[in-house]
Amino acid sequence: MSLKGKAAAIGIAELKPWKEAPPNVTPLGLMGRLMAEAIADAGLEKNAIDGFLVGMPVADPGFIYPASAAEVLGLNPRMLNVVDIGGASPAGMIWRAAAAIDAGMCSAVLCIVADLNRLGDQRVPVVSVQREFEAPYGNIGANCGYAMIANRHMYEYGTTPEQMAKVAVDQRKNALRNPLAAFGDKPLTIADVLGSRMIVDPLHLFEIVSPCSGGSAVIVASPEVARRAKNPPAWLLGAGEYSNHSSITYAPSLTDSPIKPAADHAFGMAGVERKDIDLVCPYDCYTITVLVTLEDAGFCKKGQGGPFVAEHDLSYAGDFPCNTHGGQLSFGQPGLGGGMSHVVEAIRQLMGRGGARQVKNVARAYVNGNGGIMSEQVSLILERRS
């Protein structure tokens, strides 16, 4: 059993994130816009969409959400569900869509996320265990957990603040060529990053993702539908998923993440090696997340993420193109749209639509989605066939 070559992404849509929520806009309103754009991009009729995977918007959550969202959007799906694995949800939607297609349940799945940034204050966790054993000590929001990962990584492997900052700097070079990036107007230096305000030691402001409003969509289709699509399909070659904790305190390790089993599964299914990958799009809620992902996904040795990013050019024109849209750190994090941005960029590049940041001769991309505090991991390998 494998999903290799069983489905392909054929259409994408993405909004430029807004820092604040624009007035008179709802998450479902944004989804409607994104759905129309993605369907037009794929060259389909609306009634061709027969599968629906949706992310729950924080700004307008609901109970038994998929059918109510599908009703608003005017969809009659043969398969519908919420995918609720945090920032890994969008990557998780892609293989779930492929699995449903391969099982004969549907043939064209709309994977969609949209949200508004109205939080202001980070809410107290809704998971009761975390409310009881984390929140009283001030472990609220994601910053603290990633800061403790970064401190432990520095302790175990000698990783430096300069190495972590380099991720934000190189990704900004990419964002300068992405008209949809919310933070793509001026370059960033390592001194800028390390000179920005310390938020949670050792993480500075420019190493931390910025919450935004926005959204994105991807249409995943059967081989039959993909063959008559407008765009060159981005085929799913491999996928893997893994989780071994929710709160980072109870993870087996702060520095060995559940990315490894997810990535190994994806590469095993795809039957390709790390050296066969031309573009990586790792989830980058923080700079440290990218280092740990590159290590655990097998692009460098464990503990060597710091020296690896220092020695390689992560820009679209570099020797190791990484998050060519700028990553969430420069694109912005419109809720789950942050995690979808990595998926959308990989597809866009494989379709040859990277514009001023197009990676040359890109045939295969690796995407990683990460939820919670390294809690849920989804790795994908996508391919363009010539």
List of residues contacting another protein (CB under 8 A): 121-122, 124, 128-129, 131-144, 147-149, 151-152, 155, 197-203, 247-250, 254
> 314 near 170, Cβ under 8 Å?
yes
Between residues 82 and 140, which has the closer beta carbon with respect to another protein? 140
Between residues 26 and 244, which has the closer beta carbon with respect to another protein? 244
Rounded Cα gap, residues 17 and 19, in angstroms: 7
Rounded Cα gap, residues 88 and 338, in angstroms: 10
Rounded Cα gap, residues 383 and 386, in angstroms: 10
Token match 């996320």: residue?
A: 113
The distance of closest approach from Cβ of residue 150 to another protein in the complex, given in angstroms and rounded to an integer, is 8
The distance of closest approach from Cβ of residue 283 to another protein in the complex, given in angstroms and rounded to an integer, is 19
Rounded Cα gap, residues 41 and 218, in angstroms: 10
Rg of the chain, C-alpha, whole Å? 19
Rounded Cα gap, residues 145 and 140, in angstroms: 9
Rounded Cα gap, residues 3 and 15, in angstroms: 29
The distance of closest approach from Cβ of residue 255 to another protein in the complex, given in angstroms and rounded to an integer, is 9
Number of neighbours of residue 268 by Cβ within 10 angstroms: 12
Between residues 26 and 247, which has the closer beta carbon with respect to another protein? 247
> 280 near 359, Cβ under 8 Å?
no
* Cis-peptide into 261, omega within 30 deg: no
Between residues 63 and 137, which has the closer beta carbon with respect to another protein? 137
Between residues 26 and 151, which has the closer beta carbon with respect to another protein? 151
Between residues 179 and 252, which has the closer beta carbon with respect to another protein? 252
The distance of closest approach from Cβ of residue 199 to another protein in the complex, given in angstroms and rounded to an integer, is 5
Between residues 124 and 356, which has the closer beta carbon with respect to another protein? 124
The distance of closest approach from Cβ of residue 292 to another protein in the complex, given in angstroms and rounded to an integer, is 13
The distance of closest approach from Cβ of residue 165 to another protein in the complex, given in angstroms and rounded to an integer, is 17
The distance of closest approach from Cβ of residue 137 to another protein in the complex, given in angstroms and rounded to an integer, is 5
Number of neighbours of residue 63 by Cβ within 10 angstroms: 6
Contacts of 22 (CB under 8 A, 6+ apart): 213
Between residues 19 and 152, which has the closer beta carbon with respect to another protein? 152
C-alpha distances in angstroms, 72 versus 30, 136, 229?
12, 40, 26
The distance of closest approach from Cβ of residue 207 to another protein in the complex, given in angstroms and rounded to an integer, is 13
